[in-house]
Structure 1
Amino acid sequence: MKANVGTLDRGLRIAAGLILIGLSLSGVIGLWGWIGVVPLATGLFSFCPAYSLLGLNTCRNRPH
């Protein structure tokens, strides 16, 4: 698994995931807020399977 999620992308994913989970836990949104686990995990691991399938890479240090 090579990292394919860059720094800015990673930060946004982690923030979005935590916000969705927090809103779900506080009852502002329903159980669907737990979908925030997906961007949180992809941000923490710096790897997105969808990016691999689409050939995308937002990492600054791309292999040559």
Structure 2
Amino acid sequence: MNVPRNVGGWDRVLRGVLGIWLSVVAVAASLDEKRTTAAVAALAGAGLLQNAATGFCGCNALFGVDTTRDGE
């Protein structure tokens, strides 16, 4: 199945960086026994990393936002 991309350029890079940062926050919160913070940060980080890896965001599709350039 070929899913159209709607995340590109700096948006994609930013999502990757924030996804990694939130994953680190999740590990730190887990070590500090803050389970709720760890779970929320892990889920948000995983979602952003998925967006960055696939180039597709469901929310962007829902609202008609496309940050890719033609031919990307």
TM-score, with length taken from structure 2: 0.76
Over 6 Å off, 4+ runs: none
State the partner residue of 1:37.
Answer: 46
- Count of aligned positions: 62
Please identify the structure whose Cα radius of gyration is greater. 2
Structure-1 residue corresponding to 2:25: 23
Bigger shift: residues 10-19 or 26-35: 26-35
Identity value in percent = 27
Name the CA distance, whole Å, in 2 between partners of 1:49 and 1:41.
11
RMSD: 1.7
Which protein is richer in helix relative to its size?
2
In structure 1, C-alpha distance between the alignment counterparts of 2:48 and 2:58, rounded to whole Å = 11
Gaps of 5+ in 1: none
Give the equivalent residue in structure 2 for 1:48. Answer: 57
Distance in 1, matches of 2:4 and 2:64, equals 12
Residue 7 of structure 1 and its aligned partner are, at CA, apart by 1.5
